[in-house]
Amino acid sequence: MTIDWDVKDSTLEIRYGQEPIMCLALNECAHITPGPLSIKHIMAWDIVRMPFAQIHDMNSWTRSGKSTGQEIIYLYHQDTRYSMSFKLTLINPWHLELEITTSAAGFLRITWHTPSEELWQGFGEHTHSIRPPAQFDSWVEEGPVGLGWLSGWLKKAPFVPFPKGPYPSYASMPLWLSSAGYSAWFTSFERIRWNLTHTKRQATIWSTMTTLHIITGQTPKDIFSRQFSVLGPPASVPSWALAPWNDSIRGQARATRLAHFLRSHRIPSSVIWIEDWMGSNENRRRFWMRPLKHTVDTELYPHLPQLARTLHEQGFRLLGYFCPEITYGTDLYRQALNDDILVKDSKAEVMAINILGIRHGQIDVTHENAMAWTHRYLLSPALALGFDGWMVDFGEYLPLEAQLADGTSGHISHNRYPLLWQKIHRAFWEQQRPDGNFVFFVRSGWIGSHLLAPVIWGGDSDTDFSEADGLPTVIPEALSAQISGFFYWATDIGGYMTFGLTRPRSRALFLRWLEVASLLPVMRTHHGTAAPRNWHFDSDAETLAIYAQYARLHTSLYPYFYHLSKVATDQGLPLIRPMYLEFPADRICWGLDRQFMLGEGILVAPVLTRKSSHHRFYLPEGRWRCWWSGEIIEGPKWVERSVPLDRLPLFIRHPFVVPLLEGVPLTDSVPTEDTFSSPSERGSWQMEGIVDSLARITTGPGVDLHQALDYLALYVFVSKTSWQQQITLPDGGILDLQYQPLSKEARPGPLLSPPHFASHFPKHYTFAKAITVAPDMTETIQLTEGILTLHPSADSRRRQYIVRWG
């Protein structure tokens, strides 16, 4: 990375190799004197306005003597005392650190000039991809809310989505990726106000100092890997978190029945989540979890430890709920008052946090006793009840007027609050279960949250197809979150919020949302605020059958998810990937935010609208095989299809091997060459096709991961060219695969029955062979048109590989 200073053009140009990647306009950088602050509260949002009393653009500059890897540029406003300094430190050839300070109290403004074709991605997690022209804040707050059917009519109004337009976010962060070949982020906790046009980008940092980090690379994958080598790899999850999660409400008996129902219907699940363990309030239209007392409701859950033990034996983990708010008048609130642990204002009075008309106190996470107090009164009692994790909700509600125990204001620590709240939970679980056998999931976040929270979900989406905050916003939200390291991302299947003119979730909405969620790393249901009226996975027999199919699909992908999780830890690459990450040279892919890649081998193009007769998606260069039909399509091309309600457009990249779980054999027989007595006959040996849980089952029916890992299915997309692929195996070791085509005419392969439950597996893989391979041994299989060589590493285990092709 090199730095060119052009005095005539007043620019500071940063280059990577011969290519310019960033051009700072020095004469458009400024010191800003802020005017009076005004705050207007609208429900869960703060409308913050602060006029700028004076803007002092810098108009002269000097450059200090250059030392090894470091230099300082001083900027001045000649008519006043105001100045700025840029201290540039080259950490290594691809990492530049730029410390920016101003000489007096006020704000900083930094301006870039960019080519019109340059695209910026990310800025944390957003329901709408940020495209110029755009104005928004890096500020943690409630996400936007749609207005039901009115959202379409009012889509160009500045208050749609309600109340601030499309860009409010639970996890808005000043971190972005540029198509010019870099990523960058500011380290400030203070508000940053952005103004993006097609050729100019401007950031106003509400602080006197900040640090900008710039990471460069030849490809977006290089940049991701380098970025997360600096920021740190994302927190990982236990195996059971990669199976479907099912929510349960209305008490212990219902949770017990749900667990039995799932196992008896062979519907995979490893998690039962009881949000209402501390109580709930329900009528014919609504369901709310109330009050936030953080102790068990013994009427709903009279024997919660027994429920936990029963679920554990059946192969489930039990999750609960916490937030930093405590309802007025509860025993825990009185304890918090007594221990002086709640957020106060400048008059040292406890502040009231209003959530849906109910008053709460909020834990002051900067208090020196906050961690110990939360562990003692909230988390330790919950662990003793048998929980294996919980939702760590909220984190966005710290008032700007707060005066915290560490001396900072709500303005300074508002974006910092989610990190401190999440650190409390991370520290607890690392102390209690250092083996990592836990999960907690969050919705708010800042730069660094990816190190603390194993899972993030997209917050309270509307239960509709609205572009404002419904199903179409899920994939933009997921893809933007990847740039900030939220690799284990989830959504509430069917949406959560039925608010105002938004209707309860329909059957069609539930099924389309289910299809999206089944290809995310974490697949989880949610009852929603209109639980009595919402459509659920068991609302009718057809929905139940489709849900079971996609739950089985998700669980069968566990070996692939596991492989991708190791890539995430070791290389800093996400499991779900924006299209441009795999196809950076394809300009179209930089603008796609309604489809994604699962790793490098599977393309997912869900239907996100109510109508599906003209569903349009893009296949980049190469050959793509339809998961369901076996049809092969040559890219690059746009494809338009009519997509049935139970179908998720899913394609396998050529050439690629998809590792899948097929459960265990239906019989105890072991396949041999004698099994395939004739190319036209199928062997009697057959895999069952279902794995019920990725946690150990010790009591009752079902196949668990421990049993299923004796077998691994490899679905091979055959090729006329040679290739090789490595798969990190779920229980240790690496499988090396090499393929060499044959020059002679193709011959039929052996036939092995498809799995007994086969609706969720790729179709038209006609040929199959099972082979047992020991660690550090090499085996070959002759496919129809080539030779496949398998070599598991010495630290793997002996297992049977079922190779399928066609």
For residue 614, the domain's CATH number is 2.60.40.1180
Pairing of strands 95-102, 120-125: unpaired
Q: Are residues 287 and 193 in the same domain?
A: no
pLDDT at 669: 52
507: left (phi over 0), alpha (psi -120 to 50) or beta: alpha
* Rounded Cα distance, 84 and 25, in Å: 13
Q: Which domain holds residue 694?
A: 657-805
Q: Are 461 and 551 members of one domain?
A: yes
The total number of residues shown for the chain amounts to: 806
458 and 526 together in one domain: yes
Judge if 764 and 623 occupy the same domain.
no
Pair 336, 360: CB distance under 8 Å? no
Decide if 84 is inside a domain: yes
Residues 56 and 167 in one domain: yes
- The pTM (predicted TM-score) of the whole model is 0.96
Q: In this structure, are 647 and 583 located in the same domain?
A: yes
* Together in a domain, 69 and 125: yes
Look at the block and give the residue holding tokens 């092969």. 632
Closest CA to 661 of 615, 710, 616, 723: 710
Boundary-marking domain end, from 599, 622, 653 = 653
Q: Are 177 and 499 in contact (CB under 8 A)?
A: no
629 part of a folded domain? yes
For residue 573, tell me if it sits in a domain. no
Q: Fill in the amino acid letter for 762.
A: P
Distance (Å, rounded) from C-alpha 222 to C-alpha 217?
A: 5
pLDDT of residue 679: 38
Together in a domain, 218 and 244: no
Q: Cis before residue 381, ω within 30 degrees of 0?
A: no
List residues bridging with 619 in a β-sheet: 637
Provide the pLDDT for residue 63.
85
Q: Is residue 412 assigned to a domain?
A: no
Q: What is the pLDDT of residue 743?
A: 82
Q: Which of 197, 231, 265 is the last residue of a domain?
A: 231
Same domain assignment for residues 640 and 669:
no
Give the pLDDT confidence score for residue 744 in this predicted structure.
77
Q: Among 174, 198, 231, which residue terminates a domain? A: 231
The answer as to whether 336 is a domain residue is no
For residue 281, the domain's CATH number is: 3.20.20.80
Same domain, 643 and 693: no
Rounded Cα distance between 439 and 432, Å, is 12
Q: Note the pLDDT of residue 116.
A: 85
CA distances from 241 to 237, 244, 562 (A): 6, 8, 11
In a domain, 328, yes or no: no
Q: Is the domain of 616 the same as that of 485?
A: no
Tally of domains in the chain: 4
Residue 342 lies in a domain: no
Return the structure tokens found at 701. 């029916």
Q: Is residue 400 part of a domain?
A: no
- Phi, psi of 34, rounded to the nearest 5 degrees: -75, 150
For the chain, residues with pLDDT lower than 50 are: 673-682
601 and 500 share a domain?
no
